């Protein structure tokens, strides 16, 4: 079914100048590389790493205060890290921006030192809202701009900011409710910005093409509907979401996924332009609380906060899910970091995750943390 030809009036698109302040963000800290682009984490051999059980020789002692001895951990003692955006990297060094849902603070984190606060956004964290998405500008190397999905006292919206400058609205008027306000961002391979929005507690909004709620939106960097959208002058790219957890896709944009907490189950959808999100690619009846995801080409990794693990779904050659998920980061198959609130891919082999253990979990002294995730080798079970 094609989206009805109902245009969304782009009144929520903001006009503003493109000037940015000079930035002085640190260079990405170095990791010792075994073979780029996958980092070989210090004190971890081939048999261990994020998502793999440590050997007896490399067992990690528990954290002491904000000191975490797990070399995959690149930031500690944050709060509800529900958004991460890795800085450009070839994988030999890792740094990222980490956003706290409840405080609206954004930190630059990495292996080279303490987290550096670079912005504080004014957010309303009630009803699962707050700061829930971060994405770098497609021209980040030139402009230093960062996009954020936030909940305010009036609405959910996309804003942009750079270090030393106040945030400016990009897309406003996304409905806000008492619940299901979380959103997610993903830079498009074509220079656009993809935005997943919740239905704000109103299930009928997701099927309404005139509403920005419960949708995957596709906009340009100024907040206007992107060229080539299914309906001209509308930012709506796909509809049918309830409470999205994350967006991810292949680097060339050929494949796009969105996770969602539907009414009866958790799900991940393959997003196709103009098609309703009505047939999931995979569902979880046990509702593990899906959040961010990463497309490893032959595996789709989906993070969870309720179950506190990584669900690795094998992919077939045509991009279909070809078998049951393999669990990692669950304490049996790799170290458990508890509730994972965000997951974003850095390279084809590396991702960065943030934990949200201070929001309903069982935090350790170093929580909440930002963690490097190295992809698991494919078992081949999902291939044709």
Which domains does the chain carry? 79-374 (2.120.10.30)
**How much of the chain is in helix, strand and coil states, percent to nearest 5?**
5, 35, 60
How far apart (Å, rounded) are the C-alpha atoms in residues 49 and 334?
Answer: 8
The reported pLDDT for the residue numbered 33 is: 31
- Cα of 358 vs its chain's centroid, Å: 18
Please check the confidence at residue 177 and state whether its pLDDT lies above 90.
Answer: yes
The tokens describing 267, both together, are: 């799900």
Range with lowest mean pLDDT among 64-68, 111-115, 220-224, 282-286: 111-115
What is the Cα–Cα distance from 136 to 146, expressed in whole angstroms?
5
Q: Half-sphere exposure of residue 22, counting CA atoms within 13 Å on the CB side? A: 1
Q: Which residue has the higher pLDDT, 378 or 79?
A: 79
Q: What is the pLDDT of residue 180?
A: 98
User: What is the Cα–Cα distance from 376 to 382, expressed in whole angstroms?
Assistant: 14
Contacts of 328 (CB under 8 A, 6+ apart): 51, 52, 309, 310, 312, 334, 376
* pLDDT over 90 (residue 287): yes
Burial class (CB in 10 A: 0-12, 13-18, 19+), 108: buried
Of the listed ranges 20-24, 310-314, 315-319, the least confidently predicted one is 20-24
Helix (H, G, I), strand (E, B) or coil at 205: helix
Residue identified by tokens 């980092």 is: 39
Which is higher by pLDDT, 363 or 44? 363
Q: Coil, helix or strand for 57? A: helix
Q: Which of 348, 379, 50, 294 is nearest to 302 (CA)?
A: 294
**Tell me, what DSSP letter sits at residue 226?**
P
Mean pLDDT for the stretch of residues 317-344: 96
Residue with tokens 């960097």: 221
Q: CA 222, CA 145: separation in Å to the nearest integer?
A: 12
DSSP codes of every residue in 104-166:
-EEEEEETTSS-EEEEE-----GGG-SEEEEEE-TTHHHH--EEEEEE-SS-EEEEEE-TTS-
Burial classification of residue 373, based on how many CB atoms lie within 10 Å of its CB (0-12 exposed, 13-18 middle, 19 or more buried): buried
State the pLDDT at residue 89: 78
Q: Are 181 and 174 in contact (CB under 8 A)?
A: no
Under 8 Å between Cβ of 84 and 374: no
- Over residues 108-131, mean pLDDT: 93
Alpha carbons 248 and 186: distance in angstroms, whole number = 7
Q: DSSP letter at 298? A: S
Quote the pLDDT of residue 97: 98
Tokens of 153: 């006292």
Q: Of residues 112 and 184, which shows the higher confidence score?
A: 184
Q: What is the pLDDT of residues 48-101, one digit of tens each?
A: 344 443 433 458 899 999 999 999 999 999 999 999 999 987 767 899 999 999
Q: Give mean pLDDT, residues 252-257.
A: 95
Q: Quick one: pLDDT at residue 197?
A: 98
Nearest to 88 by CA among 76, 96, 80, 98: 96
Would you give the DSSP letter of residue 56? Answer: G
pLDDT band at 111 (very low <50, low <70, confident <90, very high): confident
Q: Are 156 and 129 in contact (CB under 8 A)?
A: yes
User: What would the mean pLDDT of 229-236 be, rounded to a whole number?
Assistant: 96
Checking if the pLDDT of 243 tops 80, the result is: yes
pLDDT over 70 (residue 39): no
Q: Per residue in 6-22, pLDDT tens?
A: 333 344 555 444 444 33
pLDDT of residue 350: 93
């Amino acid at each position: 079914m094609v989206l009805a030809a109902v245009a969304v009036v782009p009144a929520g698109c903001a006009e503003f100048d493109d000037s940015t302040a000079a930035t002085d963000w640190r260079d990405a800290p170095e990791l010792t590389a075994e073979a780029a682009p996958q980092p070989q984490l210090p004190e971890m051999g081939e048999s261990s790493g994020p998502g793999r059980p440590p050997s007896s020789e490399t067992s990690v002692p528990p954290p002491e205060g904000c000191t975490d001895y797990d070399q995959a951990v690149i930031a500690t003692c944050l709060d509800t890290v529900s958004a991460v955006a890795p800085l450009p990297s070839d994988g030999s060094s890792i740094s990222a921006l980490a956003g706290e849902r409840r405080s609206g603070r954004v930190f630059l984190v990495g292996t080279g030192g303490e987290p550096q606060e670079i912005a504080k956004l004014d957010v309303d964290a009630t009803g699962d809202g707050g700061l829930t998405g971060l994405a770098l500008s497609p021209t980040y190397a030139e402009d230093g701009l960062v996009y954020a999905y936030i909940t305010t006292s009036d609405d959910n919206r996309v804003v942009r900011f750079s270090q030393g400058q106040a945030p400016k609205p990009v897309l406003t008027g996304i409905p806000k409710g008492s619940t299901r306000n979380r959103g997610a961002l993903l830079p498009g391979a074509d220079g656009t910005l993809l935005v997943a929005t919740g239905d704000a507690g109103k299930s009928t909004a997701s099927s309404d093409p005139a509403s920005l709620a419960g949708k995957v939106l596709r906009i340009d960097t100024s907040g206007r509907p992107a060229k080539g959208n299914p309906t001209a002058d509308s930012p709506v790219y796909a509809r049918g979401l309830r409470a999205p957890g994350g967006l991810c896709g292949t680097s060339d944009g050929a494949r796009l996924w969105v996770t969602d907490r539907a009414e009866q189950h958790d799900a991940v959808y393959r997003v196709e332009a103009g098609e309703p999100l009505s047939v999931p690619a995979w569902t979880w009846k046990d509702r593990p609380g899906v959040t961010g995801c990463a497309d490893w080409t032959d595996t789709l990794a989906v993070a969870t906060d309720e179950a506190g693990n990584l669900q690795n779904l094998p992919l077939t050659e045509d991009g279909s899910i070809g078998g049951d998920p393999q669990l990692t980061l669950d304490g049996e198959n790799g170290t458990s970091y508890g509730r994972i609130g965000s997951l974003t891919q850095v390279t084809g082999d590396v991702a960065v995750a943030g934990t949200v253990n201070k929001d309903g979990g069982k935090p350790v002294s170093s929580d909440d943390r930002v963690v490097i995730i190295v992809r698991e080798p494919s078992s081949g079970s999902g291939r044709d």
